[in-house]
């Protein structure tokens, strides 16, 4: 067996990468297979791959394979991982940071139909006979505001945030009054948010949402 230098292996690998027809996800053949087809040993190939990985040309993962390009951040938006890592106060903090900006975008982009739906959700929340149904309409209202931003990515992030929020607060049954009291603070706060959005007042909508969420946060702290 003629001795093959590290440089030769690296050159063959680069040539391979420059010419091979790879699948869409940029996945290379398995090391054992690639070593064979390049006529080099697996250990030498692994050395060359390590070099390319340090240059950001490829990335490798046990059990998955070897891929061209930079290693993606592991954000397979894993909701369960987020739920394990966070807590109710963080959730409130994230909501206070994020949702006013969603409301701001909604004020600039909402359709008349969406504003009408916000009003409908708001009224139904007020008339809800049980807490559970109140929360259904509350959720519907907040999501309609996200839809009204006309930005599917913002909506996706809002949905992610809400999924985490529900999981974090899961099991917290309200064994208190059957339904929200008539003077439930959120009613007036919802009305202010929706009015600002209807008025196309971005700053007003963001401010009203921020006040609403700080109010929710304050009530939440009272219950701890």
Partner DNA sequence: AACCAAAACCAATTCGAAATTGGTTTAGGC
Partner DNA sequence: GCCTAAACCAATTTCGAATTGGTTTTGGTT
Partners of 61 in beta bridges: 65
What is the C-alpha separation between 180 and 207, in angstroms, rounded? 24
Are the C-beta atoms of 116 and 83 separated by less than 8 Å? no
Q: Of 192, 182, 198, which Cα lies nearest the Cα of 215?
A: 192
Q: Which two tokens stand for residue 147?
A: 């839809």
Q: Which two tokens stand for residue 66?
A: 């070897």
Are the C-beta atoms of 146 and 104 separated by less than 8 Å? no
Asked if 41 touches DNA (CB under 7 A), the answer is: yes
**Cβ distance to DNA smaller for residue 47 or 200:** 47
Q: Contact with a copy of itself (CB under 8 A): which of 4, 17, 123, 163?
A: 163
Segment lying near a copy of itself (by CB under 8 A), choices 35-43, 86-94, 112-120, 177-185: 86-94
Asked if 48 touches a copy of itself (CB under 8 A), the answer is: no
**Cβ distance to a copy of itself smaller for residue 40 or 114:** 114
**Cβ distance to DNA smaller for residue 3 or 24:** 3
What is the C-alpha separation between 153 and 122, in angstroms, rounded? 25
Q: Contact with DNA (CB under 7 A): which of 49, 52, 118, 197?
A: 49
Query: Which phi and psi (to 5°) does residue 61 adopt?
Result: -145, 125
Segment lying near a copy of itself (by CB under 8 A), choices 1-9, 31-39, 81-89, 110-118: 81-89
CB of 217 to DNA, least distance (A): 34
What is the C-alpha separation between 14 and 77, in angstroms, rounded? 33
Are the C-beta atoms of 122 and 212 separated by less than 8 Å? no
Own/partner contacts of 67-75, CB < 8 Å, gap of 24 or more, are 67/25, 67/26, 67/27, 67/28, 68/17, 68/22, 68/26, 68/28, 69/26
Give which of a copy of itself, DNA, none residue 33 binds (C-beta under 5 to 8 Å, depending on kind). DNA
CB of 191 to a copy of itself, least distance (A): 24
Q: Contact with DNA (CB under 7 A): which of 66, 144, 149, 186?
A: 66
Interface characters, 91-130, with DNA (x: CB under 7 A): ----------------------------------------
Q: Contact with a copy of itself (CB under 8 A): which of 82, 107, 141, 194?
A: 82
Applying CB under 7 A, which residues contact DNA?
1, 3-4, 28, 30-33, 41-44, 46, 49, 60-66
């Amino acid at each position: 067996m003629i001795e093959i230098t590290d440089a030769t292996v690296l050159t063959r690998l680069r040539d391979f990468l420059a010419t091979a027809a790879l699948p869409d996800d940029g996945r290379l053949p398995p090391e054992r297979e690639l070593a064979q087809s390049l006529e080099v040993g697996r250990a030498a190939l692994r050395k060359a791959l390590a070099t390319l990985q340090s240059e950001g040309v490829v990335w490798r993962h046990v059990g998955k394979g070897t891929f061209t390009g930079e290693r993606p951040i592991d954000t397979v938006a894993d909701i369960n991982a987020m739920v394990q890592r966070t807590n109710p106060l963080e959730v409130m903090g994230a909501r206070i940071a994020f949702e006013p900006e969603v409301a701001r975008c909604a004020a600039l982009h909402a359709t008349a139909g969406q504003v009408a739906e916000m009003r409908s959700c708001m009224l139904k929340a007020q008339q809800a006979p049980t807490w559970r149904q109140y929360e259904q309409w509350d959720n519907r209202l907040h999501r309609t505001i996200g839809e009204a931003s006309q930005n599917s990515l913002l909506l996706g992030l809002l949905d992610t945030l809400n999924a985490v929020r529900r999981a974090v607060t899961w099991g917290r049954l309200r064994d208190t009054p059957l339904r929200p009291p008539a003077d439930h603070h959120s009613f007036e706060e919802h009305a202010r948010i929706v009015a600002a959005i209807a008025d196309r007042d971005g700053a007003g909508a963001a401010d009203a949402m921020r006040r609403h969420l700080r109010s929710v946060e304050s009530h939440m702290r009272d219950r701890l």
